[in-house]
Amino acid sequence: MARSRRHRPVRNRFRSTTLVATIPARWDTLRRVHSIYDLAQRAGVAPSTVSKALRDDPRISKATRARIKALAAEVGFTPNSAAQSLTTRRTMTLGLVVRDYADPYNGLLMRGIESAALREGYQLLVTSTHEAELHEIDIARSFRQRRVDGMIIVASHADEHQANLDPGVPVVFIADHEELLPDRPDVGLVTFDEVAAASTITGHLIGLGHRRIGYVGIGRARQSNRNRQAGYEAALRSAGIEPDRRLSATSGRRDSAEGGAEGVELLLPARPTALFFYNDMAALGGLRALADRGVRVPEEVSVAGFDDIEVAALVTPPLTTMSQPRLEMGRMATEQLLAMLHGAAGGERLMTACTLVVRRSTGPAPAGRPEGAQTR
């Protein structure tokens, strides 16, 4: 029978002291950089200097700021935003209220706002009102409770905010009804002359020889709709054309495209040769309704919209419209808000210019149509 071997205990050649010795000498220091005080000790400066350097405070030299930022990156240090907000009384957060996420109008606008905010180190909290008037006010209140530093409101109901604005939180509206906003140093506005823009596009149709020009409005945009209809009527009167109530309709539908299609059904019996729609989405709905009825655009009826959303250039025929500089408007609103946060005098009313974009949906008025002739 084979003799069993005695198993000698295996000695651990790697004692704990040896293991510790194999760890890089600076590891123990690196892993202890949990706070701004640890980082300040490593950098050999005061904690307040580190705080200012990480915020790009110009009172700290560029060389010191660069050195502290490099050290923070090396050790993986991230400032505690909650602690910073207690010191600076800021959360570095802006609230953005839009009417509807799905509205193509908001895309470029939000891009301009976001790029300007991120460039200055601010984050955005974005929410939609879904066109609800009271919900818009509730969201603004909720943002104040979350201690946002300021708000940008793409306002559909700016007049309702007059009694609900907190004087401690600066607000910039991107709106089209300046007269409804309070005159306060902490309330700014980015807008455009909506009446003049609507008059311009109506004048374009008049210049093509049209005299029976219809206007299709959207009821949910109350003041804005009134402004655009006022511009439309002013252009007609300037050309010696008395506005015909039978050539003006305002849809109560919430969906702009459906409202545009409904407007076509209401106005075609009045024999228009051109239709000016409240916005591009309404115009797209109108184009669809005209095509369904076999009406050729622009040979029988010219169509014009407003906003110049991206799809306006892609439909058939491409849509004539008024272009708003939405990217620039978003940037201007953010820069005005940040200026107020940094102590600049606020309350500015910044005006932007719209541009007429002529495409193939508008053309000369059809010649020889008898006054009583119906459009199919």
Give the distance, in angstroms, between the CA of residue 164 and the centroid of all CA atoms in the same chain: 22
Place of tokens 């929410």: 127
In this predicted structure, what is the pLDDT of residue 20? 41
317 Rama class: left (phi>0) / alpha (psi -120 to 50) / beta = beta
In this predicted structure, what is the pLDDT of residue 102? 82
What is the Cα–Cα distance from 312 to 316, expressed in whole angstroms? 9
* Structure confidence by residue, pLDDT tens digits, 320-333: 999 999 999 999 99
Topology (CATH) of 23-85: 434 Repressor (Amino-terminal Domain) (1.10.260)
Q: Does the bond joining 185 to the residue before it have cis omega, within 30 degrees of 0?
A: no
Instruction: Sketch the domain layout of the chain as residue ranges.
Output: 23-85, 88-192+325-352, 195-324
In this predicted structure, what is the pLDDT of residue 74? 86
Pairing of strands 187-192, 171-174: parallel
Residue-wise DSSP of 204-242: HHHHTT--SEEEEEETTSHHHHHHHHHHHHHHHHHTT--
What is the Cα–Cα distance from 159 to 336, expressed in whole angstroms? 20
What is the Cα–Cα distance from 15 to 10, expressed in whole angstroms? 13
Task: In the chain, count H helices and then E strands.
Answer: 13, 12
Q: What CATH code is assigned to 88-192+325-352?
A: 3.40.50.2300
Residue 13 DSSP label: S
Contact 172, 150 (CB under 8 A): yes
Question: Reduced to 3 states, what is the DSSP secondary structure of residue 78?
Answer: coil
In this predicted structure, what is the pLDDT of residue 90? 63
Give the gyration radius of the chain's Cα atoms.
Answer: 31
- Cα–Cα nearest to 320, from 274, 366, 264, 254: 274
- Cα–Cα nearest to 194, from 231, 220, 163: 231
What is the Cα–Cα distance from 40 to 67, expressed in whole angstroms? 11
In the numeric block, which tokens belong to residue 177? 């009804």
Under CATH, to which class is 195-324 assigned?
Answer: alpha beta
What is the Cα–Cα distance from 170 to 116, expressed in whole angstroms? 17
pTM, to two decimals: 0.75
In this predicted structure, what is the pLDDT of residue 372? 38
- pLDDT digit of tens for each residue in the chain (376 aa)? 445 455 555 454 444 443 444 444 444 444 455 577 888 888 899 888 887 888 777 889 999 999 988 898 888 777 655 455 445 456 889 999 888 888 889 999 999 999 999 988 899 998 887 765 556 667 777 777 667 899 998 865 555 555 556 667 888 999 876 655 667 778 889 999 999 999 999 999 999 999 999 999 988 777 889 999 999 999 999 999 999 999 999 998 878 899 999 999 999 999 999 999 999 999 999 999 999 999 999 999 999 999 999 999 999 999 999 999 999 999 999 999 999 998 877 778 899 999 999 999 999 999 855 443 444 4
In this predicted structure, what is the pLDDT of residue 369? 52
Report CA torsion sign: 225, 194, 287, 273. positive
Do the domains 195-324 and 88-192+325-352 match in fold?
Answer: yes
What is the Cα–Cα distance from 27 to 201, expressed in whole angstroms? 69
What is the Cα–Cα distance from 159 to 156, expressed in whole angstroms? 9
